[in-house]
Amino acid sequence: MSSPAPAHTLAPPFPRHLAVIILLCMGCAFAGNHVAARVAFDDGAGVLLAILMRSGGTLLVLAGLVLWQRQSLRLPAGAWRWQLLLGLLITAQSLCLYSAVARVPVALALLVANVFPILLALLTWALGGPRPTARTAMLMGLILVGLVFVLDVPGRLATTTHVGPQWWLGVALAFCAASVFACALWITDHKLSQVRGSARSLLTIFIVFTSVNLAGLTGALPGGLNLPATSTGWLALATLVVLYGTGFIVLFISVPRLDMPRNAPVMNIEPLATLVMGWIVLDQMLGTVQILGGLIVVTGIVLLTYRKSAIKADDLAQQRKN
């Protein structure tokens, strides 16, 4: 006789209003994580140090939960190479996004990075999946129009003010983060869909933690392990670890009860929450045109992801801000 399923897999879904509240809180927690990261970077902390602390704290708690639930980490034959690639992609996404946050306003970095649904749809089509529908193509166009305003392309073309290389590098890194995250979601959906979510999440975080350690020890990213200069930076790093770890673990535990295929678009509150937090904490305020573009981008993403069964919504929630 097979052993009974764990109790948490049999629990009924939360009422929708409660699920939405949880997802809103988690979106705000992930937003706060990025704002705290910028505070730490401004105080001299290295990008690798922030990712190391974040992934290390989450790894400890997640490993404890998996051990407590006595879940197996055994993967199907042939899945290990895809799991390794997934972990490396999430590592690259973390490095690119945090590096972007260190260079441009946090809300701008998050809005650019959140175009990954477009890239995922195009990647899926290019690799033999279904062609985007007319509705999907229209929403993609809407998101790109919004992104033009987020980047204030009209204003930058109309002025002779020089835009520094750090700005362009930050935007490029944010787009790179979106690209590798789209690849990670494709692998999760098409190559690791049979792997239990807990095992996939733990192994992914472990690979991120190990990769960042190796990068730090080899000096692959000069200054990546620099310590904050003051207690403000250390407090920001601690806040980052708590916010990210709480968000990730709560989603890890609650995903089976959150009805993610229906409620996942709520997570797109993150760029808007980042905009508000960036203004309050960092005095970073986007212009009126950029805010309008941000609203267009978020609206398009919500409509694009709503009821989109091609994306594993639980994977989107569990891996979204690694």
Query: For residue 29, which amino acid is it?
Result: A
Flag whether 269 is in a domain: yes
pLDDT at residue 160, rounded to an integer: 54
Supply the pLDDT for residue 217: 87
Domain membership of residue 201 (yes or no) is yes
Q: Is residue 42 part of a domain?
A: yes
Residue 249, pLDDT above cutoff 90: no
Does residue 8 lie in a domain region? Answer: no
Contacts of 33 (CB under 8 A, 6+ apart): 54, 240, 243, 244, 247, 321
Alpha-carbon span 185 to 177, nearest angstrom: 12
Residue 10 lies in a domain: no
Between 298 and 83, name the one with better pLDDT: 83
pLDDT of residue 319: 52
Total of domains in the chain: 1
Residue 140 in this model has a pLDDT that exceeds 50: yes
The pTM of the full predicted model, rounded to 2 decimals, is 0.84
207 in any annotated domain: yes
Closest CA to 69 of 177, 199, 161, 257: 199
pLDDT at 290: 83
- Does the pLDDT value for residue 3 go beyond 60? no
Question: Which range is most confident: 11-25, 118-132, 256-270?
Answer: 118-132
Q: Which residues contact 112 (CB under 8 A, 6 or more apart)?
A: 100, 147, 150, 151, 171, 174, 175, 178
Alpha-carbon distance of 86 to 212, in angstroms, equals 14
Does residue 284 contact residue 290 with C-beta atoms inside 8 Å?
no
Is residue 309 scored above 50 in pLDDT? no
pLDDT digits (tens, 9 = 90+) for 51-92: 999 999 999 998 998 888 888 888 888 889 999 999 999 999
Residues ≥6 apart with Cβ < 8 Å to 159: none
Distance of CA 194 to the CA centre of its chain: 22
Q: Which two tokens stand for residue 119?
A: 């890239």
What's the pLDDT score for residue 176? 97
The domain of 103 spans 15-319
pLDDT at 209: 96
pLDDT recorded at residue 84: 96
At residue 239, does pLDDT exceed 90? yes
Residue 186 lies in a domain: yes
Mean pLDDT calculated for residue range 244-272: 80
Tell me, yes or no, whether 58 lies in a domain. yes
